[in-house]
Amino acid sequence: MKARKIFFCSFILVLVLAACGAPVVEEATLPAPEVNTTQATATPIPQTTYPLTITDGLQRTITLDAPAQRIISLAPSNTEILFAVGAGTQVIARDPLSDFPAEAQSVTDIGDTFIALNTELIISLEPDLVLAAEITPPEQVAQLEQIGIVVFWLANPRDFEGLYANLITVGQLTGHDLEAAAAAESLRARVSAVETAVADVTDKPVVFYEVDGLTDPNAPYTAGTGTFIDLIINAAGARNAAVGLEGYKPLSIEELLVQNPDFILLGDSAYGATPELVAQRAGWGELAAVQASQVIPFDDNLMSRPGPRLVEALEQLARLLHPDLFN
């Protein structure tokens, strides 16, 4: 219950801040950061030279005299990227939601990052880089800058190419160019394999992804266009039931009945949503997905964190929807 309360409080906070114009959702809204070298391309040139001057997603320019060795991550996606490019041992602290990989849980937890940062703790850890993300308000970046801490704000990718570019960027910041390039190429190959497998699919199932159906079952929150969830659903050879929505918004049960999804994915399963409870909701029993027992819990951490595991989400979803193509 405590975890569920934290989740929904955080979710409401994200929506409020987003309405005020602050880029805070751990999702796809802005292009990947630009750098002042040629290494932001799909095929990076290895071995960054230092000092490195690089521009982040807030169009701030920072300079690193050497690869960052004491890094604090302010977002789960950043933490996963750091470990994916081989910089896990350089992570000295992380936000409380960074629970993957398992090794990340052994480093210092800096506590709440949604309302305010524990700047005293951050200062005491003596980081040479704080890696922020779109869920980090620019005001927090400015606060850290004012106390002399170097901050890089990693913008969320808009597509898979942006994801690969973010790995390359973090490789530059940490001195892991070769590992980052290898990780990016591996992810690119996996995405390409899925795209090839579903390329000839013409009868695309309709998928409804439930972000939060516990608060109001008559108008569950879902992910429309402009989100990575929508991108993954389409890349997996399916159609998004929330095609008429943009961003994260509620979808009425009336519209859901019109779309009549073939699959319902419960991204809120970790907080109590189950296929049995969905079937008991008023009107939901008429949906094709419910009648065919195609209401399926799905790990929302794979879908909503703009890090390397987005590719795992794509693979899992494609196999779920088209098992005959992945035997």
Question: Confidence class of residue 46 from pLDDT cuts 50, 70 and 90?
Answer: low
b or e along 292-318 (b: 16 or more beta carbons within 10 Å of the residue's beta carbon)? eebbeebebbbbbbbbbbbbbbbbbbb
3-state secondary structure of 169: helix
Please tell me the distance from the alpha carbon of residue 246 to that of residue 169, in angstroms, as a whole number.
28
pLDDT tens per residue across span 66-121: 999 999 999 999 999 999 999 999 999 999 999 999 999 999 999 999 889 999 99
pLDDT at 1: 43
Task: Give the CATH H-level superfamily of domain 200-325.
Answer: Nitrogenase molybdenum iron protein domain (3.40.50.1980)
pLDDT at 45: 52
Q: Which residues contact 50 (CB under 8 A, 6 or more apart)?
A: 64, 65, 66, 67
Range list for CATH 3.40.50.1980 in the chain: 17-196, 200-325
| Residues 198, 325 contacting (CB under 8 angstroms) | yes
Give mean pLDDT, residues 34-47: 45
Residue 27 scores a pLDDT above 80: no
Give mean pLDDT, residues 39-67: 82
pLDDT tens per residue across span 162-200: 999 999 999 999 999 999 999 999 999 999 999 999 999
Residue 251 scores a pLDDT above 70: yes
Domain covering 17-196, topology: Rossmann fold (3.40.50)
Residue 309 DSSP symbol: T
pLDDT at 228: 94
